[in-house]
Structure 1
């Protein structure tokens, strides 16, 4: 291969990556600025449809929280972009690889060390902003309930769990890349999907309890209501549990976890403290709607399809010298494998490109939420679901006046005004909450 053959596609990749990254940054900053301006412009008055149920104080808290998060997001964007440039075009990943290659030589241990070193350094870089988000942003608005000791303990446990699970998976993928021939990517995809399905089954019973306490739901009245609802909907779960979410945050939620026979219904203790039994019923019916419409299966199938495309693309890119040199990485030419480098470069580059299909993913998710709401209204009271959702919007300080373009790009859930209007018999929200 001549130098000119490598140089041209390498330079094209460098320029293309920098251009797409720059466009993405501009779009993200434009969207954030729209959100900030739109929310600030509507901060001084509660929307008419919610005037009878949301106080001005709560509305302004949600506006301030949204604006603060958006501005913090710009800070995260700036740091993230600088770090991404540092790893790629400025040669950070190449420096890490060459240093470990000189120390450990080529082979599996060196490749695992590259992956582990990347994760460790990235985590240390992200730590200051993560601390600030929890202990300044969330604290300022009354949501943070964790302590520094608990936060550090969670980080340590997450790191250990990640190492115990992640390193063997990484070793398997790297082994397949080096030993399974040109079609290694297909075998790696099969292994990756099998592992993901296994984790979905074992997570509720073995991983989640490492971070939170899960107690069986002991409110007999609520348990009877929930059980009756699930029977009406033809749904079975392994158990009903209450999670001590209040130990870390004041945000409220409820969710299903697990897969197949291992499915569990989990309520945050903060949710049960804020909603009436009928409202809890309605929120649960919404989650059942996701299962009824097979949204979970659709998302898993979509993940399977996109990951297959991703592995196939990685299989090709990993054999192209310009893929490495175009991102300022010198590939190992002396027989040492480049598999860890290929994985990391692909991980770094992919989000830059897939950012532009985010609106499509968000659109599908919002459609699913509307379908789940409609299912809940069929099986419980629409009034209860509306009041429950409004309480959750208020307690989580979710703005009632997001920017419409920002919504279309990012929101996985419809705005309150759209979501609640569909539940109102008259097609509006005024009669529901007044």
Structure 2
């Protein structure tokens, strides 16, 4: 592998991904702005002009923020790689830690220093999104104290969970021979499965309060639905999402004995019992069609290919030099390789994302069809209308932007498909 060729390939993907994203965002912005002055006819009965324009303003603000965020992220990526930022950080950390603490401590310290600097760079953007964009549009309900507390808890959880698996992978890279990547992948899969089990029990409660669903009428209705669908969960819980945001949602979480159904309190405050049942039936549709399992298996296969590729790249000096780093001569390069791989992968995966978006939209149609069969299609449509309005989701997205970025079908397409499937009259608005 030639270092210059790798540099040029990497630079191409970085520039191409940024320009493509900016072009798509510009298309989306123009399309939303051009259609903000009139509610689409199909939605005129359920969505006011004020709600439609509020959604347009929210969408345009998020696009403008995305423009800044993407530009900053690209500049930081180039700074870490081609401009030698990671190489400089490596020299500093290596001189301070290698002789005193040993190779493993040096590699963990390098990873920690990189994450710390990256986090500090991202922090102003995260704060701006929360306290400027979300707050301006009435979604943010956090104060600075809660927000900073969440940031600190996220760091602590990341260190407590991330440091052991990182140390294990680094040890395998140095001790397991040429097939280290296969062992490391196995460790990663085991860690991911463990995380699915412990997340609802120990991690999520650090950030939100979960209480059993107290509405017995709704609980009975939900239990009957789950029995009809052959789904078992260890509890129905309400999460205090309203403490942080006005956005509403419901989801399944956990694996095995930790599996549970979680409703945002904001969702229960906005939807009728029938609408909540229909939303849950949609989620059960993902379970029935094994979408979660399929995505998990896909993720594991992709991660296996990624580890195999990394196993080969770590033996190529040009991999380091082409991305702006001189490999260590008297210290392990495993942490450097992991960091470079993490930095180089996103610009390439950006162009693979539309494939995953396509299959995700297909899954949503299947889950909607299942919900219409198990519950009321009319209630599901009404729930979607309310959620689109309350979340200020635009009803007029650019079609190409949708095909590239949207994991869910746009409102018009989704409701049209439901109307065709549901035996009950379903409004043609979403």
Shared fold, TM over 0.5:
yes
CA contact (8 A) 1:49 1:430 kept: no
- Residue equivalent to 1:364: 359
Check if 1:383 corresponds to 2:383.
no
Aligned to 2:289: 293
Offset at 1:430? 9.9
Counterpart residue number, 2:86: 93
The normalised TM-score by structure 2 is 0.97
SS at match of 1:215: strand
State the shift of 1:260 in Å: 2.0
Deviations 1:44-80 (A, max 9, x none): 0000000011000000001110111011000000100
Query: Is residue 369–residue 421 contact of structure 2 (8 Å, CA) maintained in 1?
Result: no
Aligned to 1:347: 342
Which residue number in structure 1 is paired with residue 22 of structure 2? 29
Residue number in structure 1 paired with 2:251 = 255
Secondary structure of 2:56's partner? helix
Q: Is the CA contact 1:46–1:59 (under 8 Å) kept in the aligned structure 2?
A: yes
SS in structure 2 of the partner of residue 256 of structure 1: strand
In structure 2, the partner of 1:182 is 178
Whole-angstrom distance in 2 between the partners of 1:184 and 1:293: 35
Q: Which residue of 1 aligns with 2:235?
A: 239
Residue equivalent to 2:116? 120
Is 1:11 the counterpart of 2:7? The answer is no
Does structure 2 retain, via aligned residues, the 8 Å contact 1:46–1:54?
yes
Distance 1:265 1:377 in 2: 20
Say whether the 8 Å CA contact 1:217–1:241 is kept in structure 2: yes
8 A contact 1:252–1:271 mirrored in 2? yes
2:61 aligned to 42, 64, 68, which one?
A: 68
Give the count of matched residue pairs: 425
Deviates more, 1:254-263 or 1:400-409: 254-263
1:218 partnered with 2:214: yes
Separation in 2 of the partners of 1:421 and 1:233? 25
The answer as to whether partners of 2:381 and 2:426 remain within 8 angstroms in 1 is no
Do the aligned partners of residues 18 and 425 (structure 1) sit closer, same or farther apart at CA in structure 2, a change above 3 Å counting?
A: closer
| Partner-residue secondary structure (3-state), 1:424 | helix
Shift of 1:261: 2.6
Distance across 1 between alignment mates of 2:154 and 2:349: 27
- The equivalent residue for 1:3 is none
Q: Deviations over 1:197-248 (max 9, x none)?
A: 0110111011100100000000011001101111111111010000000000
Q: Whole-Å Cα distance in 1 between the matches of residues 254 and 312 of structure 2?
A: 34
Residue of 325, 330, 333 corresponding to 2:326: 330
Once superposed, what is the RMSD of the aligned Cα atoms? 1.3
SS at match of 1:332: coil
Q: 1:137 aligns with which of 133, 139, 143?
A: 133
1:268 counterpart residue number: 264
- Contact persistence 1:52–1:433 (CA under 8 A): no
Alpha-carbon distance, 1:433 to partner = 5.7
Q: Would you say the 8 A contact 2:185–2:303 is kept in 1?
A: yes
Cα distance in structure 1, aligned partners of 2:4 and 2:195: 40
Q: Which runs of 5+ in 2 are unaligned?
A: none
Deviation at residue 425 of structure 1 after TM alignment:
4.1
Q: 1:204 to 1:431 in 2, by over 3 A?
A: closer
Whether contact under 8 Å (2:369, 2:418) holds in the other structure is yes
Q: Give 1:431 shift.
A: 6.2
Contact 1:325 1:331 in 2 (8 A): yes
| Deviation for aligned residue 1:426 | 8.8
**In the alignment, which residue of structure 2 is the partner of 1:311?**
307
Deviations 1:376-409 (A, max 9, x none): 0000010000000110011000000000000000
**Please, which runs of 5 or more residues in structure 1 have no aligned partner?**
1-7
Please say if residues 287 and 372 of structure 1, whose CA atoms lie closer than 8 Å, have aligned partners that are also in contact: yes
